[in-house]
Amino acid sequence: MHRGKGEIRMASRKIACLGAGSLHFMSAIPDILLADGLSGSRIVLYDIENEKARLMAKACRGVADSLGTGFRIDPVASLAEALDCADFVLTSIGGSGADINSSVYSSRYHALDMYIPAKYGIHQVIGDTCGPAGMMMGLRSIPVYLHICREMEKRCPKAVLFNHSNPMAVLCRAMRKYSGIAVIGICHGVQAGVVCAARLLGVKPEELECTWVGTNHYYWFTGVFRGKEDVYPLLKKRLKSAGKQENRELTAGLSQIYGYHIVYPSDDHAIEFYPFLAGVHGGQKSLPYGLAKSARAHGFDERHSMPRREPVTGKTRQEFFKNYKNILDGIRPPAERANKIFGEPIGSMLESVALGRRDVYIVNIANESAVPNLPSHALVEIEAVTDSRGVRPVFMGEAPPVLKGMLEKRFVWQELVVDAGAKGDRNLALQALMMDEMAIVPEKAEKMLDEMLLASRDLLPQFFKK
């Protein structure tokens, strides 16, 4: 219920969660349950591994019952059943098929996306946004998302899709380009950057008024104010005097060089937008800025041999679901709703759209004219205003020339991956590899591409048509 002066507003909706076995829904669904204005809504969970959806629904139903919110939570057996007459569709699909794993980063597919390029001298760290691994994650996922959109066009054409999966910009751009569905990407990178900036300035994050330009995981502050006071010069000064900080050494240095503070201060994401990883000599242990630890945490440990495909036995499934149930036992009613200053407030966002309430959120959407000197179709992460149809972008101002140049190249890469994934076009995928900052000589790039495509053949039907 949205409580104003003597006013109670409620909007019962059908909310479809796809890829519902994803651990993302451990936090997303409980946050939705705290949205009083959605009380009485039905949440349906669908996953190609039905047992995961059933267990997630059971765990979240326990939270709903303890809160007494009136929500219904049900697993469903088919995509069609999930989407019929849905008002909102939430996706968290990692592009690893029905493999038995807790996340895409622990999947064999993602491991191969990291191991194969390493053979050719490209040592990635996270591999979910750019580089060869980010491209492959996109190529495997794009057909799945476009299938969802085609089903939505038939069964719930006015529904709004909220995507949580990476590569965020690639997937959202693909859905916008090849379907008529309203798509909004959800992330927390900018929020993390604002919190970090506030800490350096010694103020509360909600006191800052910021503008920035960029695409998912790759953006810079263009303005930082506290009320009418321009505190950007002070932020730059504090950043310079902060000294070395773990996993923020590269971003601090780049911020000083370009004169604009990188919003998301994590080195492991930022480094993949630059050519540094294609020039690492001595293997993973030689990654700069101590990033070998982060790479290993994201599924790539060069000290181990390349993973083989092992048959999924009854014992394997039994052990996985035992661990999975233990993880789900950790779901608890949240003490409060997710704060849009600090994280991903999906409950509040759905409530705002359902009630046609004008609120401001940080989202991944088409630029349109928010950053006037960047392409209108480009997927950017910016502030937007909600209404009953979804969101509309807030004006952020022009990108400075040095940032404009870096971003335009990234947008071209995203477009190449989108078209390659939608059409199954090997040459476009090769162009994307050559456009990426981690590019290697064409002869090696072609061999690497063929090896990577073959490793994911069962999830890339568009590239291996009979």
- Give pLDDT tens digits for 14-26: 999 999 999 999 9
> What's the helix, strand, coil split of the chain in %, to 5?
45, 15, 40
Report the number of distinct structural domains present in the chain.
Answer: 1
Strand ranges inside 13-120, DSSP E:
14-18, 42-46, 72-75, 88-91
pLDDT of residue 4: 45
The pLDDT value recorded for residue 299 is: 78
**Separation between Cα atoms, residue 224 and residue 222, nearest integer Å:** 7
**According to the model, what pLDDT value does residue 183 have?**
98
Task: Give the domain extent around 42.
Answer: 1-466
Do residues 22 and 57 lie in contact, with contact meaning Cβ atoms separated by under 8 Å? no
- Predicted local confidence at residue 246, as pLDDT: 85
| 96 closest CA partner among 132, 140, 162 | 140
Treating both helix axes as pointing N-terminal to C-terminal, what angle do 108-119 and 442-455 enclose, rounded to 10 degrees? Answer: 160
Q: What is the mean pLDDT of each run of 10 residues along the chain (466 residues)?
A: 49 93 95 94 96 96 91 97 98 77 81 94 95 97 97 98 97 98 97 95 96 97 97 94 87 94 94 91 90 89 82 83 94 86 92 96 97 98 95 97 97 98 98 97 97 95 87
What does the alpha-carbon distance between residue 408 and residue 301 come to, in Å, rounded to a whole number?
Answer: 33
Q: What is the pLDDT of residues 301-322, one digit of tens each?
A: 888 888 777 777 788 888 999 9
What is the structure's pLDDT at 313? 78
The CATH number given to whatever domain includes residue 67 is: 3.90.1820.10
